[in-house]
Amino acid sequence: MTLDIEKIRKDFPILERETRPGVRVTYLDSTATSQKPVQVIEAMNDYYRRSNANIHRGVHTLAEEATSMYESAREKIAKFINASSSREVIYTRNTTESINLIAYSWGRANLKTGDLVILTEMEHHSNLVPWHMLQAERGIELEFIPVTEDGLLDLETYKTLLDRRPKLVSFTHMSNVLGTINPAAEIIRMGHEVGAVVLVDGAQSVPHLKVDMQTLDADFYAFSAHKMCGPTGIGALYGKTVLLESMPPFLGGGDMIKEVKLRSFRPNTLPHKFEAGTPAIAEAVGFGAAVDYLSTVGMERIAAHEHEVTEYALDRLEEIPGVKLFGPSADKKGGVAAFTLEGVHPHDVAQILDQDGIAVRAGHHCAQPLHEKFGIPATSRASFYLYNTKEEVDLLVSGIYKVKEMFG
Ligand code: C6P
C-alpha cells in the first residue's frame, strides 16, 4: 500500500527549489493549490509544441488533434469520478465557477422567493456568496447545518431543517480548514428523501479521495484541476444528464449553440451547451494528464499516505505548548492541520516559517464565517499531499518552536 515517496518527489521539480540560498522549499500548502508533476507540465508543453489549434471548429489535422485531446481528457475525468457519461462533465474555470454556474442556471430556473437552500457553517466563500447573491435577487432563504466544537456537521439539526423541504442542499465534501470529511453519501441520501437537489463542493475531496458519482448519487459535483496536480484555469462540474438537459445555458457565445439566427438561437447538446467561447484547451490536456498521474499512483494509496502523514502531524503539533488545533481527529479528516499559536498572529507564524522555506497559509482561508464561529480571525494552516513526508512535518514542528522562541 505504501507510496514510493522518493520516486514521487522526483516527479515534482519544484520540490527541489531553494527559496533562499541553501534553503529548500517545504511545501505544505497543497490545499491552496497542489504542485504539478513533470508529466502534466510536459503534456501541456507538448500540446503547445505539436498540436495547438482551436477546437470543434477546424477540419485541419491540428484542429482535429486538439479537439481529440480536449475531448479525451474529458473522458478521463469522467472515468476518474465514475460519471455515467463524459457528457456529464462540463469544463469550467474552477470550483467557484462550477458553483456559480449552478446558482445562475439551475438556481434562476428553479428557485423563487421563500424557497429554502441548506448550506453548512463550514463552507468556503465560493459556496456561500453565489447563494447570498441569489438571495438578494430572488428572496430565497438560507439555512446552515451547524458545525460542532470538534469540527463535525450536526446532522441532527440537518434532519430538522429537512422538515422544511429545501429545494437545494449544497455542502463541502471536505473542509479546507478543519479537514473534516463529511459523510457525503448520507447527506445526499437524506436530501433526496425530501426531494431536494444536492450539490457537492468537491474542491478538496476529488484530489485526495476516491470519489464515485454512482455511489454518492450527487446531482452536481464541483472541483478544480489545480488542487489535483493539474493546471490553474480549469475545473469541472459534474451533473446528472437529466438535470443538465433541463437547465438553460450559462454563458452565451460560440460553441454553445447549435444554430443562431439574428433574433434567436438553439443551444448545443451536452456538454457543449455550457462551454461558450474558446476554452482552456492546453489546461484540459493538463487536467487529463493529472488524472492519469493520480490514477497511476492510485487514489487509495494517496489517501492512505496522507492519512499517515496527517496523523503524525496532528500528534506532533498537539505536543507543542500553545498550539491549538482545529477540526476532528485524523480518522475523520483529510490532510489539513489548521492551528493557532498562543500569543502569535497566524500571519507572523507563516512569515517566520517561510524564512526556513516552509510554505503554510495563514488567514481565514476564504471561510470567514467558520473562523467567526470558532471566535478567531485567522489560523495558520499546513496541508499535506502525496509528495509530503514525515520529515517535512518535523521541519514544521521545529519551525514552530523557533517562532515560539522569537516571541518569547
Ligand atoms: N480553497 C484554500 O486555500 P477555486 O478557487 O475555485 O479553485 O476553489 C474554491 C474552493 C471551493 N471550495 C473549497 C472547499 C475550497 O477549498 C476552495 C479553494 C483554497 O483553501 C483557496 S481559497
Ligand 1 center from residue 263 Cα (angstroms): 39
Amino acid at position 165, single letter: R
| Alpha helices, H only, 91-149 | 95-101, 108-110, 129-138
pLDDT digits (tens, 9 = 90+) for 192-250: 999 999 999 999 999 999 999 999 999 999 999 999 999 999 999 999 999 999 999 99
Please, which pLDDT band fits residue 2 given cuts at 50, 70 and 90? confident
pLDDT digits (tens, 9 = 90+) for 131-142: 999 999 999 999
Find the radius of gyration of the CA atoms of the chain.
22
Ligand 1 center from residue 232 Cα (angstroms): 12
Ligand 1 center from residue 130 Cα (angstroms): 14
Nearest residue (CA) to ligand 1, atom 1: 32
Which residue from 33, 122, 211, 366 has its CB within 8 A of the most atoms of ligand 1, so it is best to mutate? Answer: 366
Please, which pLDDT band fits residue 82 given cuts at 50, 70 and 90? very high
Q: How far is Cα 322 from Cα 269, in angstroms, rounded to an integer?
A: 57
Q: How far is Cα 363 from Cα 242, in angstroms, rounded to an integer?
A: 40
pLDDT digits (tens, 9 = 90+) for 339-375: 999 999 999 999 999 999 999 999 999 999 999 999 9
Percent of the chain with pLDDT over 70: 100
3-state helix, strand, coil in the chain (%, to 5): 45, 20, 35
Instruction: Let me know how many helices (H) and strands (E) the chain has, helices first.
Output: 15, 17
Q: Are 335 and 306 in contact (CB under 8 A)?
A: yes
Residue 93 alpha carbon, nearest atom of ligand 1:
6
Which residue from 98, 99, 120, 126 has its CB within 8 A of the most atoms of ligand 1, so it is best to mutate? Answer: 126
Q: How far is Cα 345 from Cα 347, in angstroms, rounded to an integer?
A: 5
For the record, the C-alpha cell of 286 comes out as 493538463
Percent of the chain with pLDDT over 90: 99
In this model, does residue 1 exceed pLDDT 80?
A: no
Residue 227 alpha carbon, nearest atom of ligand 1:
7
Indicate where the chain has its CATH 3.40.640.10 domain(s): 41-296
Q: Give the pTM.
A: 0.98
CATH C-level class of 5-30+298-406: alpha beta
Ligand 1 center from residue 124 Cα (angstroms): 7
Indicate where the chain has its CATH 3.90.1150.10 domain(s): 5-30+298-406
Q: How far is Cα 117 from Cα 198, in angstroms, rounded to an integer?
A: 10
CA 341, 346, 352, 356: dihedral to nearest 10 degrees?
A: 90
Q: Count other C-beta atoms under 10 Å from residue 233's C-beta.
A: 17
Q: How far is Cα 243 from Cα 223, in angstroms, rounded to an integer?
A: 18
3-state SS record for 375-387:
CCCCEEEEECCCC
Residues lining ligand 1, Cβ inside 6 A: 31-32, 94-96, 124, 126, 172, 176, 201, 203-204, 224, 235, 361, 365-366
Please, which pLDDT band fits residue 384 given cuts at 50, 70 and 90? very high
Q: Taking Cα atoms as reference points, which of 245, 209, 197, 239 lies closest to residue 222?
A: 239
Q: Are 333 and 318 in contact (CB under 8 A)?
A: no
Nearest residue (CA) to ligand 1, atom 8: 95
Looking at residue 235, its pLDDT comes to 98
Residue 232 alpha carbon, nearest atom of ligand 1:
7
CA 362, 294, 225, 353: dihedral to nearest 10 degrees?
A: 20
Please, which pLDDT band fits residue 167 given cuts at 50, 70 and 90? very high
Q: Are 371 and 349 in contact (CB under 8 A)?
A: no
Looking at residue 215, its pLDDT comes to 98
pLDDT digits (tens, 9 = 90+) for 107-135: 999 999 999 999 999 999 999 999 999 99
Ligand 1 center from residue 406 Cα (angstroms): 32
340 beta partners: 324
Ligand 1 center from residue 386 Cα (angstroms): 18
Looking at residue 72, its pLDDT comes to 98
Nearest residue (CA) to ligand 1, atom 21: 32
Q: How far is Cα 401 from Cα 390, in angstroms, rounded to an integer?
A: 17
Q: How far is Cα 109 from Cα 261, in angstroms, rounded to an integer?
A: 24
Q: Look at the block and give the residue holding cell 460553441.
A: 255
Q: Are 134 and 108 in contact (CB under 8 A)?
A: yes
pLDDT digits (tens, 9 = 90+) for 256-302: 999 999 999 999 999 999 999 999 999 999 999 999 999 999 999 99
Amino acid at position 80, single letter: F
Q: Count other C-beta atoms under 10 Å from residue 13's C-beta.
A: 13
Q: Helices 184-193 and 155-162 sit at what angle, rounded to 10 degrees?
A: 20
Residue 96 alpha carbon, nearest atom of ligand 1:
6
- Across residues 173-188, what is the average pLDDT? 98
Is 43 strand, coil or helix?
A: helix
Which residue from 121, 181, 224, 364 has its CB within 8 A of the most atoms of ligand 1, so it is best to mutate? Answer: 224
What one-character DSSP code corresponds to residue 2?
Answer: -
| Alpha helices, H only, 26-90 | 38-46, 61-80
- Across residues 70-94, what is the average pLDDT? 98
The CA distances from residue 50 to 65, 66, 235, 315, in Å, are 9, 9, 24, 49
Ligand 1 center from residue 170 Cα (angstroms): 15
Nearest residue (CA) to ligand 1, atom 3: 32
Show which residues are catalytic.
366
For the record, the C-alpha cell of 58 comes out as 477546424
In this model, does residue 58 exceed pLDDT 90?
A: no
Which residue from 91, 175, 176, 365 has its CB within 8 A of the most atoms of ligand 1, so it is best to mutate? Answer: 176
Nearest residue (CA) to ligand 1, atom 16: 176
In this model, does residue 392 exceed pLDDT 90?
A: yes
In this model, does residue 408 exceed pLDDT 90?
A: no
Fold of 41-296: Aspartate Aminotransferase; domain 2 (3.40.640)
